[in-house]
Amino acid sequence: MFSLTIALAGSRICRPGDTIELAILKPSHHSRQWGVDFQIFSRKTAWRSFCTLCAVEPTQTTMKPHVTVIGGGAIGLSLAYELLRRGYRVRLLERSEIGREASWAGAGILAPAHPDHSLHPLDRLAGLGSRLHREWAERLRNDYGLDVGYWNCGGLYIARSPGEAAALRGQADSWEAEHLSFRKLTPAELTAKFGGRLATSPRVITALWTDEESQIRNPHFIRSLAAAVMREGGEILEQLGELRLQTRGNRIWRVESASGWAGECELLCLAAGTWTGQLLEQLAIALPVEPIRGQMALFQIGQPLPAIINEGSRYLVPRKDGHLLVGSTMEEAGFDRSTTELEQSQLVAFARSLVPELAAREPIRSWAGLRPASYDGFPYLGAIPDWDNLFVSTGHLRSGLQLAPASAVLLAELIAGGGDPELLRLLSPARLGRHLDG
Ligand SMILES: Cc1cc2nc3c(=O)[nH]c(=O)nc-3n(C[C@H](O)[C@H](O)[C@H](O)COP(=O)(O)OP(=O)(O)OC[C@H]3O[C@@H](n4cnc5c(N)ncnc54)[C@H](O)[C@@H]3O)c2cc1C
């Protein structure tokens, strides 16, 4: 593939930005080695003239491959956006509507993590995710006027039982080792920070405050990414129904949809959340991805709480418009994403036990989503062994929203031939070894 850097000489009929038609006549004898004589025609002026293009330099560019991404959640959309920004051509295929599964259902918490000092490589990825969220939020606003609802609201971590207090001590130790800033709040400070809106009984044994917790409004994040992908020249195809992967040797060469669409693919990335395993089954590859249901309840409380509150695996996430999310459960219920009375009542009881004013209110909405779980708790991110053009990014379980930009960068770097080797080794689907064969 050649791209031509051209300098127009001897033509008065066009200016930069004009639409012109060029007809190559012959190599020019009086220009430099790569010069050619052209007939040039300007639609604007309707002038035709002959001229010599000189200093025509053939620059050998390697056209970046065309990437097909399957799955329009946070992981697939972030990957599409990152690849487009790196100059790839991208098409994203979604069987139904983009961003209506786990990425919509989640809370959007960006938990404290440090990209450089984290002890575990996966926490490093989470730290990178937090840093990129801040950068992407700014860039999406500056470039396109899009708002992902990024809010560095800070986070409160509390313990109201001895077990929770012990776990929080461990949390504090690792934050300290990772240079994350946090401090212990006295009861008076806790009362002041939340304007006396938190319950005093049962007693809070430990309260840790960190400025390093943020949130995104995940439905806004998804919508913004989809808009940015389109504006960067990407293609998003929705409502395709089930997809069939067609193979030739060790390559996926074509994808066909139940709706009748079909397209060839150069590189294929599977980011279909908890359904990724089902897609791979078509290739007789057994990559275990289990759906872990998470239920949520939503209150409207008027004056928003000032920060996220975490207790054990439960949390309250305030939105600036007065919505308050209560989450969440971890359930194995197959692919059933209905809500249940028992779990909903437990979420509501948890919320009311922390914020007494909720006693007078009922949740305005509830829902459930299916988190994609890998067999060992780490995402699967990388090339599928023994296949020439097949990549995967899934299994992000409880942190897929936080990890989405960082996973996108890591996979884009891998596709370009780089990437953090330690992380790529840890996350590679090849770690399943022979278990990958169906
Ligand atoms: C209740 C709850 C709370 C959460 N809270 C947080 C949080 O606070 N912070 C955080 O970081 N993470 C959170 N998560 C986790 C996070 O939401 C997920 O890890 C993340 O959204 C996974 O993104 P994904 O793109 O892999 O999957 P999904 O969002 O599920 O997207 C997969 C997409 O692929 C499509 N698809 C599936 N099969 C096919 C197919 N065959 N062909 C084409 N398309 C297909 C689906 O329709 C879907 O659009 C939460 C999750 C839940 C459920």
CATH of the domain at 316: 3.30.9.10
Q: Specify the ligand 1 atom closest to the Cα of 74.
A: 25
Residue 248 in this model has a pLDDT that exceeds 80: yes
Among 309, 377, 375, smallest CA distance to 123 is for 377
Separation in Å, CA 208 to CA 155, 185, 313: 8, 6, 15
Are 123 and 269 within one domain?
Answer: yes
Residue 435 — pLDDT band, cuts 50, 70, 90? low
Residue 71, in any domain of the structure:
yes
Residue 387, in any domain of the structure:
yes
Q: Express as a percent the part of the chain with pLDDT over 90.
A: 82
Of the three residues 24, 42, 60, the one that is the final residue of a domain is: 60
Which whole number is the average pLDDT over 411-426? 96
Q: Look up the pTM and report it.
A: 0.88
Are 34 and 181 within one domain?
Answer: no
pLDDT given at position 436: 72
Are 46 and 188 within one domain?
Answer: no
Cα(64) to centroid of ligand 1, in Å?
A: 28
Residue 126, in any domain of the structure:
yes
Of the three residues 14, 43, 60, the one that is the final residue of a domain is: 60
CATH number at residue 412: 3.50.50.60
Rounded distance between C-alpha atoms, residue 125 and residue 343, angstroms: 31
Give me the residue label for tokens 């212990």: 184
Cα(74) to centroid of ligand 1, in Å?
A: 7
Are 105 and 128 within one domain?
Answer: yes
Q: Specify the ligand 1 atom closest to the Cα of 296.
A: 1
CB 379 within 8 A of CB 426: no
Residue 434 — pLDDT band, cuts 50, 70, 90? low
pLDDT given at position 63: 86
pLDDT given at position 392: 98
Q: Specify the ligand 1 atom closest to the Cα of 292.
A: 53
Are 98 and 246 within one domain?
Answer: yes
Of the three residues 60, 82, 106, the one that is the final residue of a domain is: 60
Residue 385 in this model has a pLDDT that exceeds 90: yes
pLDDT given at position 312: 96
Residue 103, classed as helix, strand or coil, is helix
CB 61 within 8 A of CB 211: no
pLDDT given at position 403: 98
Are 179 and 227 within one domain?
Answer: no
Residue 283, in any domain of the structure:
yes
Cα(219) to centroid of ligand 1, in Å?
A: 11
Residue 328 in this model has a pLDDT that exceeds 90: yes
Which whole number is the average pLDDT over 145-150? 98
Cα(371) to centroid of ligand 1, in Å?
A: 6
Cα(319) to centroid of ligand 1, in Å?
A: 20
Residue 115, in any domain of the structure:
yes
Residue 182, in any domain of the structure:
yes
Are 126 and 70 within one domain?
Answer: yes
Are 121 and 237 within one domain?
Answer: yes
Residue 410 in this model has a pLDDT that exceeds 80: yes
**Which residues' Cβ are closer than 6 Å to ligand 1?**
70-76, 93-96, 98, 100-103, 105-109, 242-243, 271-273, 275, 279, 294, 296, 327-328, 369, 371-372, 394, 396-402
pLDDT given at position 70: 98
pLDDT given at position 242: 96
pLDDT given at position 105: 98
Q: Express as a percent the part of the chain with pLDDT over 70.
A: 85
Are 39 and 183 within one domain?
Answer: no
Are 42 and 71 within one domain?
Answer: no
Residue 49 — pLDDT band, cuts 50, 70, 90? low
pLDDT given at position 54: 41
Residue 16 in this model has a pLDDT that exceeds 50: no
Q: Give 27 or 436, the one with higher predicted confidence.
A: 436
Residue 355, in any domain of the structure:
yes
Residue 21 — pLDDT band, cuts 50, 70, 90? low
Rounded distance between C-alpha atoms, residue 287 and residue 382, angstroms: 13
Are 278 and 427 within one domain?
Answer: yes
Which whole number is the average pLDDT over 367-391? 97
Residue 319 — pLDDT band, cuts 50, 70, 90? very high
Q: Which domain holds residue 39?
A: 2-60
Residue 30 in this model has a pLDDT that exceeds 50: no
Domain count, the chain: 3
Are 247 and 381 within one domain?
Answer: yes
Residue 150, in any domain of the structure:
no
Q: What are the backbone angles phi and psi of residue 382, rounded to the nearest 5°?
A: 150, -165
The rounded mean pLDDT for the chain is 89
Which whole number is the average pLDDT over 110-123? 93
Which whole number is the average pLDDT over 392-411? 98
Residues 355-363: contacts with CB under 8 Å, at least 24 apart: 355/197, 355/198, 355/199, 355/301, 355/305, 355/316, 355/324, 356/197, 356/199, 357/197, 357/301, 358/299, 358/301, 358/324, 361/299, 361/300, 361/301, 363/297, 363/298, 363/299, 363/326
